[in-house]
Structure formats: structure tokens, C-alpha cells
Amino acid sequence: MNMADKKLQVRGKVLTPETVECEIEVPNPFCLVIFGASGDLTKRKIVPAVYRLYRNGFLPEGFFVLGTARSPMSDEDFRDQMLDAVKQAFPDDFSQNVWDKFAEKLCYCNIDYSDAGTYGAIKDRLEPLEKKFRTGENRIFYLAVPPGIYESVILNIGESRLSEEQSGYSHVVIEKPFGRDTDSARSLNSALGRSFSERQIYRMDHYLAKETVQSILIFRFANSIFEPLWNRRYIDHVQITVAETLGVEHRAGYYEHAGVLRDMFQNHIFQLLALTAMEPPSVFEADRVRDEKVKVFRSIRPFPIDSAGEHAVLGQYGSGAIDGAEVLGYRGEPGVSPASNTPTFAALKVFIDNWRWNGVPFYLRSGKRLPKREAAISIHYKPVPHMMFKGIIEDHIEPSTLVLRLQPDEGITLEFQTKAPGGKLCLNKVLMDFSYQTVFTFEAYERVLLDCMQGDQMLFVREDGVDATWSLLTPLIEKLESEAGRLRFPNYASGSEGPAEAVKLIEADGRKWRPI
């Protein structure tokens, strides 16, 4: 493939592949079997991602997508639904010519997820399609179904022998939430182990596919200017923030049983924590990187359950305004109990008991209906050891801060002090800023799909990592849920930065949150 002949549409900007310095490898032929093909995730994320990869020349001609779901549907019906989905995803960048070729690769069969006998219909459709598209029995099974039926689908894939590898590979992609506590996660891992080997399993956390998240290790370990300063001697504390302006939206059925700790912390935020805190692996390979992440999880100090309130704060949004528009409180959202004690905000203070991070607090927070959408890791350095400008400069001198922005404007910012122009000695905080808006990037679902096609598990979570994070969080969640009836919800207004208790959590240590 001659990449120089192609143009890529990225966030409304046309960029040539010359801006991509690394060669992008096109995967071998494959088939993608989507369980839950009539659902929202397939329409919003999966099929648009496959379409964009195909349109931009990153997929082989030999591939097809087989959608499966309970809904009776013909191939043409499925193609019509996916056409609407792709047009909605790319309203200003849709090619009818590309679609006509892509649509030929979309097929459908309906099954009953809980009936092992109906999985024969998948085998019956796969065999002629694999011959037609010459995919070499390379199969990816994508579980875009509700978490409650994960185990049923996984076990039936195994029972029907679809997971067996002969001339090609069989991979399974499973989205979070991966369980809701330690026991349920272990049960799900056990089901996976009966049908697939760990080498075949791709536990997906789409946050790990964001360009800046992938760059954390490169930034840390390929630049000698930063790695020597990445420890307790120079860093005062670390903040990880994932803020959303959206409320629960259409996810009340799931969210009422999950809450923010299960939804965001066990996966997204703890993964960001691990990448920020881990030691350099001996080689840049998937299992070596995942080894180091698990070491971080095992080094996190267990939460003191008897004094959980000193390390954890929960919140639930009330009514308020987002971007000038009035919005409902959580308890007023469709499908939510008027007396719900489900948390929509959490802030945690975490310590990592190892040589590098001893005594350095990590402040983690995530919530819905906050002032703006943002995901960022901010490294707050210690102040200078001796302030020689005392008595000359009245302003407080803020220590340097390094910010890794994950969304919506992916990039890296370093904030530091300089002298303002003029005769008077006064400070001027300046920014060195790099933005991924100016370079080509894959969207998160495109990246994870490509990696699964190529057998690269670097961005996927391993079984021991899942077990370690649930083992840390489950006792805390159980303690907080047992006391939820005593919480006064709602305790923060939509459009605010969260409950006052979260501010006290960090201010009690003489620090303050970086503004959202």
C-alpha cells in the first residue's frame, strides 16, 4: 500500500500521511463478529470505526463484518441501519463510493445469546463468507452486549468450538465493566478461561487507546530530561481528573447498579494511575508493560476502611446549569430512583508504597455534570527549596506543573515561571504546549480494533490486573455503600466542580485541585 497516495480526515482537517512518521501496518485478512450488532455501541462506535479504517486504507480488502443479535434482520436491513450510523458519525465526510464497497462486507444473522444451539447459525454463515473473502479463519468476536450476558455468550462461543484456532486466530474483545466486584470479576475470568486462552483475550479499556495515554510511556522513558525528575524527590503530588458535562443520559439502568467508582475508577482511572507511576519495563513488550502496571496496583496502600472518609469522598449531582442550559439533578433523570444514593462523583487520595513514590499522594477524581469535559493527568512539582525573591516579588510563586491532556484537546503542557517584560521584577507564568490536534491520530476504537487484528495486547488489560484493582476497590465500595444512606445527596450542583467535601480532602493537606 502506498500511504502517500491517501488523505486522512482528522477532526475536520485533511492531513497527508507524510505527517505520520511511523509506518502503519495493514493487518491480515479477518472477520469481525459483533454480538449486540443492533445495539447503540455498534452503531455509535464499532462500525463507524471499521468504516473509517477501511476508507483510509488501513484494512485489507479481505475482511467482513458479521453482526449478530436477537433482532430478526436481513443483511440489507443491517446495512441500512449501519448506513444511518456511519452518516451520523461522519456527516461532513461520507463517501457513497466507499460505502457501496464497504456495505458488501456487512452481513447479519440473528441468534439467541443464551441458546448454545443457535450458535450453529454463526458457523453456518462464517464458513462460506470466510471462503469468499479469504480471511483464513482469522476471527474476532466483539462483545457489544450488556454485561449481564457476557458469561453466557463467552461459554456458548466455547461450547460451539468457535474459539478454537486451526488455520487462523480467534480473539475475543470484551468491554468494561469487567465485573462489579472481586467475586464477579473472577467468575467472568473463569468463564473466559474455559473458552479462550489469555493470549486470545482482549479486555478493552478505550481510554488506553487515546493518543496521549499511549504517549505517557514514550514521554517518560524516552526523554532523559523528565525521567530523573519523576519521583518523590521532585514531585509534590499528582492529580488525575476525568470530568464529564453529561449526566447519566440513557444509561440509568446500568449506572444505578454501578456508580462512579465501578464505572470509572476500577478501569480508566486506575489504568492512568499505573501508566503514570510504573517503573520502566526491561523491554517494550505487552506482557512486560502489563507486569509493571500490576506491580503498581500491588503497591497501592489499602484504603483504611475504618476511616474511609479521610481518603474518599462521594457526591451526586443536583439540578443546575451546563453551558447556560438548566439540567435535572440525578434523581430526576429518567429511570433513576427519586431516593437513589448512587454516587456520580468520587475523589480518592491514594498512596503507592514503593521506593519511587513513598509519601507522594495521588488525588483522583471523576464526576458527571461538571463544568467542562476534561481528562488530564497533572504532575505538580515541589516548590523551589529556597525563595531568593522573597521581599522583592509580592506574588506567590506557583511550582511548575506538567499536564498531560487526554481529552478533548489531547496534548502536553508544561507550566513554568519567567520574568515579565519591563523594568520591574514580576513573574509571568508561561506554557509550553503540544497539541495532537495538529497531527494525525487514530480514534480510540480504531486503535484497539487494529491492535486486536494484529495480535498486540499492549493496550488491553490482563487478568491479574483486573483482579488487583477489584481487590483494592471492593472493600472500599462495600464500606461506602453500607454508609450511603447517611449521605446527604445531592451534594453538588450541576455545573460546579463537585462537592465541598472533595475540596476539603485536598485542602486538608495544604494543596488545591487544579481547576476543571
CATH assignment of the domain containing 274: 3.30.360.10
Lowest-confidence region among 237-251, 398-412, 452-466: 398-412
**Are 50 and 145 within one domain?**
yes
Q: Please, which pLDDT band fits residue 367 given cuts at 50, 70 and 90?
A: very high
How confident is the model at residue 399, as a pLDDT? 84
pLDDT at 31 over 90: yes
How confident is the model at residue 251, as a pLDDT? 84
Report how far residue 162's alpha carbon sits from residue 154's, in angstroms, rounded to the nearest whole number.
10
How confident is the model at residue 13, as a pLDDT? 39
In the numeric block, the cell 461522519 is attached to 90
Q: Is residue 466 part of a domain?
A: yes
**Are 381 and 329 within one domain?**
yes
**Are 228 and 376 within one domain?**
yes
CATH of residue 133: 3.40.50.720
How confident is the model at residue 200, as a pLDDT? 96
Report how far residue 176's alpha carbon sits from residue 179's, in angstroms, rounded to the nearest whole number.
8
Q: Is 206 a catalytic residue?
A: no
* More confident: 375 or 407: 375
Asked if 113 contacts 149 with a C-beta cutoff of 8 angstroms, the reply is yes
pLDDT at 226 over 80: yes
**Are 127 and 270 within one domain?**
no
pTM above 0.85, yes or no: yes
* More confident: 84 or 6: 84
Report how far residue 56's alpha carbon sits from residue 47's, in angstroms, rounded to the nearest whole number.
14
pLDDT at 9 over 50: no
The two beta strands, 63-69 and 106-110, are parallel
Q: Given 132, 149, 175, which residue is the final one in a domain?
A: 175
- Count structural domains, the chain: 2
Q: Given 149, 175, 201, which residue is the final one in a domain?
A: 175
pLDDT at 317 over 90: yes
Q: Is residue 190 part of a domain?
A: no
**Are 82 and 223 within one domain?**
no
**Are 141 and 289 within one domain?**
no
Helix (H) and strand (E) counts in the chain: 14, 20
How confident is the model at residue 415, as a pLDDT? 78
Asked if 153 contacts 45 with a C-beta cutoff of 8 angstroms, the reply is no
* More confident: 417 or 107: 107
Peptide bond just before 408 cis, omega within 30 deg = yes
* More confident: 417 or 199: 199
How confident is the model at residue 425, as a pLDDT? 60
Q: Is residue 90 part of a domain?
A: yes
Query: Minimal CA–CA distance to 199: which of 172, 161, 174, 167?
Result: 172
Cell numbers linked to 67: 453482526
Cell numbers linked to 347: 475523589
Q: Is residue 450 part of a domain?
A: no
Report how far residue 454's alpha carbon sits from residue 203's, in angstroms, rounded to the nearest whole number.
15
pLDDT at 385 over 90: no
**Are 356 and 235 within one domain?**
yes
Asked if 395 contacts 427 with a C-beta cutoff of 8 angstroms, the reply is yes
List alpha helices for 139-210, DSSP H. Answer: 150-159, 182-195
pLDDT at 231 over 90: yes
Q: Is residue 92 part of a domain?
A: yes
How confident is the model at residue 423, as a pLDDT? 57
H or E element in which residue 502 lies: helix 500-507
Q: Is residue 17 part of a domain?
A: yes
Tell me which residue range forms the domain holding 82.
Answer: 3-175
Asked if 319 contacts 328 with a C-beta cutoff of 8 angstroms, the reply is yes
The two beta strands, 13-15 and 8-10, are antiparallel
Determine which one of 171, 206, 237, 268 is catalytic. Answer: 268
**Are 136 and 233 within one domain?**
no
Q: Is residue 453 part of a domain?
A: no
Burial 229-246 (b: 16+ CB within 10 A, else e): ebeeeebbbbbbbbbbbe
Report how far residue 463's alpha carbon sits from residue 456's, in angstroms, rounded to the nearest whole number.
16
pLDDT at 248 over 70: yes
Lowest-confidence region among 186-195, 248-257, 386-395, 461-470: 386-395
H or E element in which residue 59 lies: none
Report how far residue 61's alpha carbon sits from residue 502's, in angstroms, rounded to the nearest whole number.
52
Question: pLDDT tens across 93-147, in order?
Answer: 888 999 999 999 999 999 999 998 889 899 999 999 999 999 999 999 999 998 8
**Are 274 and 334 within one domain?**
yes
**Are 170 and 239 within one domain?**
no
**Are 342 and 478 within one domain?**
yes
How confident is the model at residue 418, as a pLDDT? 67
Q: For the residues 257-270, what does the mean pLDDT come to?
A: 93
**Are 218 and 326 within one domain?**
yes
Mean pLDDT of the chain: 88
Question: pLDDT tens across 166-186, in order?
Answer: 889 999 999 888 999 999 999
How confident is the model at residue 389, as a pLDDT? 62
Report how far residue 127's alpha carbon sits from residue 107's, in angstroms, rounded to the nearest whole number.
13
Residue 106: phi, psi to the nearest 5? Answer: -100, 125
Report how far residue 111's alpha carbon sits from residue 157's, in angstroms, rounded to the nearest whole number.
12
Q: Is residue 512 part of a domain?
A: no
Q: For the residues 314-327, what does the mean pLDDT come to?
A: 94
